[in-house]
A and B are shown apart, each in its own frame.
Chain A
Amino acid sequence: AQSVTQPDIHITVSEGASLELRCNYSYGATPYLFWYVQSPGQGLQLLLKYFSGDTLVQGIKGFEAEFKRSQSSFNLRKPSVHWSDAAEYFCALTAGTALIFGKGTTLSVSS
């Protein structure tokens, strides 16, 4: 069955430090993969997507993610975190046209 696992429920990072959020997936073929961000009380904003091709994808707000087929992973990274990055982050894959989401990782940024 298709699934997405985000192993870290909550992460705290100092402002200016680097960030990596983990995402592992289970899917029978190469999936389409996404990272979304959600601020409190808001909808989801698409950060970046992977469909095929280059395994390192660039997104908005300085985020990037690397697809590793051998590890079934699609980790999100940012070299320097800003206080405004504090939010909940969701990794997702498409099963047909339905998005399957992980449980999310809450990012806190300390000063």
Chain B
Amino acid sequence: KAGVTQTPRYLIKTRGQQVTLSCSPISGHRSVSWYQQTPGQGLQFLFEYFSETQRNKGNFPGRFSGRQFSNSRSEMNVSTLELGDSALYLCASSKTGYEQYFGPGTRLTVT
């Protein structure tokens, strides 16, 4: 069974721009979660989507948003990028939302 895929793997953006990251979950998984990983803050939960509805949300500003499509693929958008948004963004998929399987991540660098 194919794992979680994330595109692109690497991204360089300029402050003030916006970015969209994509995640394709494991086949049959309806839950997709997003996490931000930085050296200072560690791994932090952004949000979770289940059957196209946001079911859970972390403590991030409104510049961070997401959506999920009918095929369970998910996108995450960050608007008005700041230097502090530089991070590894990880997507995880799950059948129920509890046992989560992670993709390889997208490394975002904001200059």
The interface of chain A, by Cβ under 8 A from chain B, is 32, 34, 36, 41-46, 49, 51, 90, 92, 94, 96-104
Contacts and interface: CB of A to CB of B under 8 A. Distances in A.
Interface stretch (B13-21, B65-73, B79-87, B95-103): B95-103
Nearest to A42: B104
A94 B98 contact: yes
A34 B97 CA distance: 13
Interface of B: 4, 6, 31, 33, 35, 42-43, 45, 48, 50, 55-56, 58, 90, 92, 94, 96-105, 107
- B interface SS class: strand
B102 A97 contact: no
Given A43-B105, A103-B42, A104-B42, A97 B99 contact: no
